[in-house]
Structure 1
Amino acid sequence: MKEGWIEKERVTEAGRERELEKKRTIYIKSDLYPEGEFVPELEARLSVFDRGFSVGDSAYEYARTYGHKPFQLDRHMDRMFSSLKVQRINPGPDKKEFCGLCEEVTKRNISLLEKYEDYNIVFEVTRGDWGWHGRRTPPPEGYGIPTLIVKNNLNDQKLCAYYYYAGVHVVTPSGRHVSPQAWDAKIKTYSRLNYVMADLEARLVDPGATALMLDESGNLSEAIGANVWLVMDGALMTPTDRNILRGQNRNNIISLAKKLGIPYIEKDLQPWHLYNCEEAFLSTTYPGPMEPIGRFNGIMIGNELPGPVTKRLAGAMSDLVGIDVTGQDRLSNEEKTELEKERARLNEERGVMAHIPY
């Protein structure tokens, strides 16, 4: 396969995103927009004293459309409000009203997309503007105006096609995931320096790699924006929710596995399990929802890519959302042939362990 295929696609998608952001609308309510306004994306303003910017005091969610229609927005909103409850932030609008804002922003922007493109639906709440940047304590009750932002960005399933054929390379960085003794990973917040450092370290190993963090006990935790799954002895396994964000697609995978009669187990998993599994994948919203794992710390894993359980779940997920989640329908015949040859080569190498460097 030609080197740089995935890098080229990422550049193409980034260029398309730059085109769209010049035309899109976002919703923002804050001290600068006290009544809430729909404004051009590139004209929106945010106070430099906003606590989401200055200390990461925020919660957010990432839903998406399938076939230009919002998918499970209400479930993402439930998770947003569960985070806000723990953080003691009252956003103002209730769940139904907030969902309405997300739907309205997406409706205003959807005509900008090509038929095969979709949007992520990103909604954010910060504690708002409160004093100069050094004031770390939150405002007293009754003071401060929470900032609400709703926006869209591009989600093109073509990136999924590459991962479906060639697999994701996941790398464990030296640092560990934040312990639940510090804060609960089930809170979805922009305070994510640990993710940033983990991702930077993974890219030093492989520029295309994704970081898969371990917890303080050495168990598999989660990847950057994704939950990890593996199959061993015919059973589908994933880490417990002690130190992960419970992704909505994680919930969907659990439901589909039960529907398909696939044995499902939540347990502590170590790197050993991933090295020796029959197959593995990540579940995520972007580009998502399922990305087979091809290599772990440089070593090919699994018996086949994608594995039989991954294929069954991807088929069921495609039926659920109404489009082909593998992204294969986004490929030209030439691209599909090229990636199929690469998959065959990798699976042959995987079978004889020719990739082991000793």
Structure 2
Amino acid sequence: MSQTPPPRLAYVSGQLLPEDDAKISIFDSAVMLGNAVTESTRTFAGQPFRLEEHIRRLYRSLKVARINPGMTQANLLETTLEVFEANRPLLKAGDDVWIVHNISAGVSIPGSNPQQSHSATIMIFTAHLDLRGWAKFYREGCHAVTSMSRMIPSQALDARIKNRSRMAYTLADSETRLVDPDAQCVILDIHGFVAENKGGNIFAVRDGELLTPTSENCLEGLSRQTVLELAGKLGFPARETRLLPYDLYTADEVFFTSTPYCIMPATKFNGLPVGDGQVGPMTKSLLQAWSELAGVDIVAQALAQLG
């Protein structure tokens, strides 16, 4: 007789609780105002990847957002690892997880004399890393499509503040799926330059050089940084620069980077083939190098989830 597995545990402001009991107030500023910052880290072979760097970036976002978490980076790292270890027994062979941080400014009750909590709400949870929706793109490449909506200008909200207010990204992603249900969005800034994807950064390869937008209009992604580091080790010239849609239309290769899938090749841009319409050699080399760095065959892991 099979036993029911124990519930996954989540952390909410000092308490480790079963997921179903991990709740916040309807008056929390994350709900009332979308006033929260976030980070998502993944594991490889059950080991967190660049977790300390994710937490450092989280604290940069907290500072600019004027949210005091009430604990040091070292304390948060320790707590995060406790949450992860508490859920490690639920990991199956070959599985990996997200480790997600959401931190809000706390309770914010509206009114003529609004009440604001002085304590942040800290939420940490893990979740199974489901790669099935991206798996086929490693072989086929995805269809990159520009959205009608533009990036929020950095003068209004700097994209380097990784925040939980994802409405603009969600709308942009929805718009691209009107063109192709499987499309992955390319969001432009208000000047027409390539910015980012709903949850990732964008790269183009032209004449053997790796190009990616500067961080003036996009998140300084840690997956983006990993690719730039790997490119350096492989001897691929790389630089940050402004890119226009023309540069993606005429690129030899295009790919996205993000925490869960690492590198997602794009073989079509707004209906036109990228390069020869196949996943390119530099993209494949970078994927292989990342797999070697992580100790996990990234492509094989995703394809295995398809069964």
The equivalences for 1:302-317 within 5 A come to: 302-303=275-276, 305-317=278-290
Distance change (3 Å), C-alpha of 1:223 and 1:136: farther
Which residue pairs with 2:9 in the alignment? 25
CA offsets per residue over residues 203-230 of structure 1, 9 Å max, x none? Answer: 1111111221001110110001110001
Moved segments of 4+, more than 6 Å: 135-138
Q: Distance in 2 between the 1:89 and 1:328 partners?
A: 37
Distance change (3 Å), C-alpha of 1:328 and 1:57: closer
Does the 8 A contact of 1:157 with 1:325 survive in 2?
Answer: no
> What secondary structure does 1:145 align onto?
coil
RMSD: 2.1
Is the counterpart of residue 61 in structure 1 residue 45 in structure 2?
no
Normalized against structure 2, the TM-score is what? 0.93
Is the counterpart of residue 259 in structure 1 residue 233 in structure 2?
yes
Please, which of 143, 163, 169 is the counterpart of residue 143 of structure 2? 169
Which residue pairs with 2:107 in the alignment? 129
Does the 8 A contact of 2:108 with 2:114 survive in 1?
Answer: no
Distance change (3 Å), C-alpha of 1:52 and 1:93: same
Does the 8 A contact of 1:157 with 1:327 survive in 2?
Answer: no
After TM superposition, the structure 1 stretch with the greater mean CA deviation from structure 2, 82-91 or 155-164, is 155-164
Following superposition, the deviation at residue 113 of structure 1 comes to 2.1
- 5+ long unaligned stretches in structure 2: none
Following superposition, the deviation at residue 171 of structure 1 comes to 1.2
The equivalences for 1:101-112 within 5 A come to: 101-112=79-90
Please, which of 327, 339, 343 is the counterpart of residue 300 of structure 2? 327
Please, which of 242, 248, 262 is the counterpart of residue 274 of structure 1? 248
The residue identity in structure 2 corresponding to 1:269 is L
Which residue pairs with 1:152 in the alignment? 126
Bigger proportion of residues as helix:
1
Distance change (3 Å), C-alpha of 1:137 and 1:186: farther
Identity rate, percent:
37
The residue identity in structure 1 corresponding to 2:251 is C
CA offsets per residue over residues 328-351 of structure 1, 9 Å max, x none? Answer: 67449xx89xxxxxxxxxxxxxxx
Does the 8 A contact of 1:280 with 1:292 survive in 2?
Answer: yes
- 5+ long unaligned stretches in structure 1: 1-18, 30-35, 337-358
After TM superposition, the structure 1 stretch with the greater mean CA deviation from structure 2, 175-184 or 155-164, is 155-164
Distance change (3 Å), C-alpha of 1:322 and 1:118: same
After TM superposition, the structure 1 stretch with the greater mean CA deviation from structure 2, 152-161 or 97-106, is 152-161
Does the 8 A contact of 2:36 with 2:165 survive in 1?
Answer: yes
Q: Distance in 2 between the 1:171 and 1:271 partners?
A: 10
Q: Distance in 2 between the 1:120 and 1:135 partners?
A: 40
Q: Distance in 2 between the 1:305 and 1:231 partners?
A: 13
Please, which of 111, 116, 120 is the counterpart of residue 94 of structure 2? 116
Does the 8 A contact of 2:203 with 2:256 survive in 1?
Answer: yes
Distance change (3 Å), C-alpha of 1:131 and 1:137: closer
Q: Distance in 2 between the 1:208 and 1:57 partners?
A: 30
Following superposition, the deviation at residue 56 of structure 1 comes to 0.6
Bigger proportion of residues as strand:
2
Larger Rg: 1
Distance change (3 Å), C-alpha of 1:276 and 1:115: same
Following superposition, the deviation at residue 281 of structure 1 comes to 0.7
Is the counterpart of residue 200 in structure 1 residue 174 in structure 2?
yes
